[in-house]
Amino acid sequence: MTFSARCMFPALLGALVLAVPLGLATPASAQTKLKLVLNWKYQGPQGMFFLAEDRGYYKAEGLEVTLDQGNGSGAAVPLVANGTYDVGFGDINALIELAAKKPEDAPIAVYVMFNQPPFTVAVKAESAIKSPKDFEGKTLGGAANDAALKLFPALCKLAKIDCSKVNLTNMQPNLREQMLMQGQVDGVFGYVNTIRFSAKLMGVEDKQLRYINYGDYGMDLYSNAVIVSKKLAKEKPEAVRGLVRAVNRGIVDSLKDLDASVAAVAKREPLIKVGVERERFEATLKDEMNHPEIARIGLGNVDTARLKKSIDILVDANALPRTPSVDEIFTPAFLPPTDDLPKKLF
């Protein structure tokens, strides 16, 4: 994609969006089928997607949405980029990297849900690892598509540590907490609450773990967002707007009734421990979605200066070939009116 083409995209997108009346939904017409891949296995924090389905919000927007479990926040981005899925709930930082390398393939974020950096390296409480510098000479493990693992080179640069002195190993996601507690690795990559509550399901108390959080070392990044292919955004803007509106309604309902939201997950995955998943959802709301900026701009939107800074951090730390513009990564064009976005989560 040429520079001029990139610059034209936001304007073209805006024109397409404005061509559809703001309140328009198409329930009377044929349902638009969309395939959406989630960030992970079915867990409490995904309840808003399922609650939106159970309450008919997708259908009301003329949509038939298939929700599939995922294999990591980073994995959702290429699955949308290659056309396997129309929509993903994935890490915006993986999107930034793809946009820097292959701008013509990169999807675009339309609703940023996780606005606080959840990325961490978890260690056992008694570990000698107290800061990133202590990673040198140690073995850290993570799933190949884990967003925290993919961002590790950026952490190394910001925290001024030598990545080449850290031994990295891949593992199956379901073995992460087990390998840490058995001492097979010194630390594991992941999202704080994914690790915390997966460990809890194993009988590991929170006091047995400590977290080296990326956000404490200058990585004030956004994380998971609803992303769509640019093809879908250009050709079916009304479907994207309807999807975002439905997901937002699911979030609003979930905030009013966390139990109903988690129950919607249990309906799809009866083996979950409902009590633990409710705790996981509460912790996600507090630690990953509750940035103070939402009181001003609403959940789903971004602070453009903050997103620009995070793009610059990733480009510099990972020596990416180009710096994507904010408009290539996120568009507010499909968001409901600001007054309809959650401004307070508690």
Q: Please tell me what DSSP assigns to residue 45.
A: G
pLDDT tens for residues 229-248? 999 999 999 999 999 999 99
Query: Is residue 345 included in any domain, yes or no?
Result: no
Residue 15 has pLDDT above 50, yes or no: no
Q: Which of 168, 191, 217 is at the close of a domain? A: 217
Residues 57 and 202 in one domain: no
Residues 107 and 239 in one domain: yes
Strand, helix or coil for residue 47: helix
pLDDT at 73: 87
Q: What share of the chain has pLDDT > 90, as a percent?
A: 86
Residues 142 and 58 in one domain: no
Residues 101 and 226 in one domain: yes
CA distances from 94 to 123, 137, 311, 320 (A): 24, 27, 11, 12
Query: Is residue 282 included in any domain, yes or no?
Result: yes
Residues 332 and 253 in one domain: yes
Residues 147 and 65 in one domain: no
Q: How confident is the model at residue 318 (pLDDT cuts 50, 70, 90)?
A: confident
How many residues in total does the chain contain?
346
Q: Cβ atoms within 10 A of the Cβ of 2, count?
A: 9
pLDDT at 164: 96
Domain that holds residue 145: 119-217
Tokens 């480009």 appear where?
Answer: 315
The pTM assigned to this predicted structure is 0.85
Residue 88 CB-half CA count within 13 A:
31
Q: What is the mean pLDDT of residues 95-124?
A: 97
Residue 280 CB-half CA count within 13 A:
26
* The token pair that represents 22 in the structure block: 């703001």
Q: Which of 217, 237, 267 is at the close of a domain? A: 217
Q: What is the mean pLDDT of the chain?
A: 92
Residues 243 and 197 in one domain: no
Q: How confident is the model at residue 29 (pLDDT cuts 50, 70, 90)?
A: low
How buried is 211 (Cβ within 10 angstroms: 0-12 exposed, 13-18 middle, 19+ buried)? middle
Nearest CA-CA partner of 262 in 276, 277, 273: 277
Residues 9 and 98 in one domain: yes
Domain count, the chain: 2
Residue 129 has pLDDT above 60, yes or no: yes
We report the CATH number of the domain holding residue 124 as 3.40.190.10
Mean pLDDT comparison of 21-30, 61-70, 310-319, highest-scoring range: 61-70
Residue 141 β-bridge partners = 169, 188
Element at 280 (helix H, strand E): helix 274-288
pLDDT at 252: 98
Q: Which of 166, 187, 217 is at the close of a domain? A: 217
Q: How confident is the model at residue 72 (pLDDT cuts 50, 70, 90)?
A: confident
Query: How are beta strands 209-213 and 119-124 bridged, if at all?
Result: antiparallel
Residue 1 has pLDDT above 60, yes or no: no
Query: Is residue 346 included in any domain, yes or no?
Result: no
pLDDT tens for residues 248-268? 999 999 999 999 999 999 999
Residues 74 and 137 in one domain: no
